[in-house]
Structure 1
Amino acid sequence: MRHSILALALASLTLGACSTVVETVQGPQLAPIGYPAQLVPVTQAYTTVPEPRSASANSLWRTGARAFFGDQRARQIGDILTVNIDIDDQAQTSNTTSRSRSNDITGGISNFFGLENSLGRAFPGGFDPQNLVGVEGQSNANGTGSVSRSEKVSLTIAAVVTDILSNGNLVIQGRQEVRTNREVRELTVAGIVRPEDISSANTIAHTQIAEARISYGGRGDISRVQSTPAAQSLVERFSPF
């Protein structure tokens, strides 16, 4: 069993190394298009697309329309809506901490099994049983920290309704990838929305998404050069000093 686990781990490392080598040579590859169920671990369900109704030439019913007077906003699993992301946040924090402590402990004994005189002869410098134990300690700590952050993101992404909660709220997920030369920009969004917050244009703002998970980043040559090496990250993470 142990040999099987070691072989599986070695195979995983080999595949990961091969993938890294291929990405280094050919650049990052786009992920396959699929139902975005991996963003939020929920039970997914798929609905079948109904067959379009046949209509005569003079019919008011348009072939392929889902409803005649119905609301076209996303409300069913598989429907698509547009998420407008407009983040403009600023934060500044400054903290200063100073701490100092000093300890001085002195103790002695009056009798030590009748060996006080013998211990005095053993120490050429003299022996004082009243000052047998002495402990001194001092510690100082000073810390200063500051945070100055400014973030601004303005993006638009299409998301898919992946689940409907028991109270009618919708679970949405969306992912977008754009490749430019050897760099891939990734944008993901997931969360819970109320059907009432979806506008008539089938759009919703990111501030109306509960449990919002928004990720914007990239991978490729530039991101790899800017990132901290793995060995240095491990040292900084687990160093006790």
Structure 2
Amino acid sequence: MIRCRPLFLFALGTLVALVSLRASAESLYREDAYNALISDAKAHRVGDLLTINVYEQSSASTSTDTSTQRTNGLNGAISVLSSGRQLGGSLSQGGTFDGGGTTQRANKLLATLSVNVKEVLPNGDLLVAGEQILKVNNEQHKVNLTGRVRPQDISSDNVVLSPRLADAHIDYLGEGDLSERQKRGWWRWVLDWLGL
């Protein structure tokens, strides 16, 4: 019986130590990363990816026609009765101006790129931003896109059309030899500034 007593006291001390420790456990459920088994794979939180199909087409046409005419006249005569001579003269000035112009412009941009959800607004809208860089034959083309997306505008395959973006900013930039050749020379800017 004496041999069992130290073993019993050791077991009792261990049990008291274990009970005195606070039990802690983490839940397997994380609200910020939860996806229901039957939910669509749509972007809905910060860091999610979303595909944007950019289809932008715009055209504008302006036509002006101006015609002005002005005529001024001044006539005068002086008579001298004693000598019977009459002096006279006239002065006239006139001018006409005809002008007109036509401006036409058409733009079309087709692209597909993936963007990140940067912020979820209180009303549920998603602020998205992304960039795509494509390099072909030493010509670099860059598409930058930012905007706001309503969750109901996201299709079941996680795609949004660019006309559905609110506050959209789409920049398409090209850099390289071909783009440089299309720029006007500095001397042409100087001549235009001088009106030549």
Equivalent of 1:197 in 147, 153, 173: 153
CA 1:71–1:103: 2 relative to 1, 3 Å: farther
Matched residue, 1:223? 179
TM superposition shift of 1:173: 1.4
Matched residue, 1:67? 35
Equivalent of 2:66 in 81, 97, 101: 97
Q: Quick one: distance in 1 between partners of 2:133 and 2:140? A: 7
Give aligned-pair identity as a percent: 31
Equivalent of 1:177 in 127, 133, 139: 133
Read off the aligned partner of 1:197 and give its amino acid letter: D
Q: Give per-residue Cα distances to partners, 1:193-239, cap 9 Å, x unaligned.
A: 21111111111111101122222231111101111124533553x54
Partner of 2:157: helix, strand, or coil? coil
Q: Alpha carbon RMSD of aligned pairs, Å?
A: 3.3
Read off the aligned partner of 2:64 and give its amino acid letter: N
CA 1:93–1:201: 2 relative to 1, 3 Å: same
Q: Quick one: distance in 2 between partners of 1:170 and 1:207? A: 15
Structure 1, unpaired ranges of 5+: 1-52, 55-64, 107-134
TM superposition shift of 1:180: 1.5
Is 1:159 aligned to residue 115 of structure 2? yes
Segment drifting more, 218-227 vs 206-215: 206-215
TM-score by length of 1: 0.53
TM superposition shift of 1:98: 1.8
Q: Quick one: distance in 1 between partners of 2:104 and 2:145? A: 26
Matched residue, 2:142? 186
TM superposition shift of 1:183: 0.8
Larger Rg computed on CA atoms:
2
Number of aligned residue pairs: 156
Matched residue, 1:49? none
Q: Quick one: distance in 2 between partners of 1:161 and 1:235? A: 48
Partner of 1:178: helix, strand, or coil? strand
Q: Quick one: distance in 2 between partners of 1:171 and 1:138? A: 62
Matched residue, 2:165? 209
CA 1:143–1:175: 2 relative to 1, 3 Å: farther
The answer to which structure has the higher strand fraction is: 2
Q: Give per-residue Cα distances to partners, 1:33-58, cap 9 Å, x unaligned.
A: xxxxxxxxxxxxxxxxxxxx98xxxx
Structure 1: 4+ residue segments shifted above 6 A:
none
Q: Quick one: distance in 1 between partners of 2:60 and 2:190? A: 29
Read off the aligned partner of 2:63 and give its amino acid letter: S
Structure 2 matches for 1:106-117, cutoff 5 A?
Answer: none
Read off the aligned partner of 2:172 and give its amino acid letter: Y
CA 1:197–1:240: 2 relative to 1, 3 Å: same
Is 1:76 aligned to residue 45 of structure 2? yes
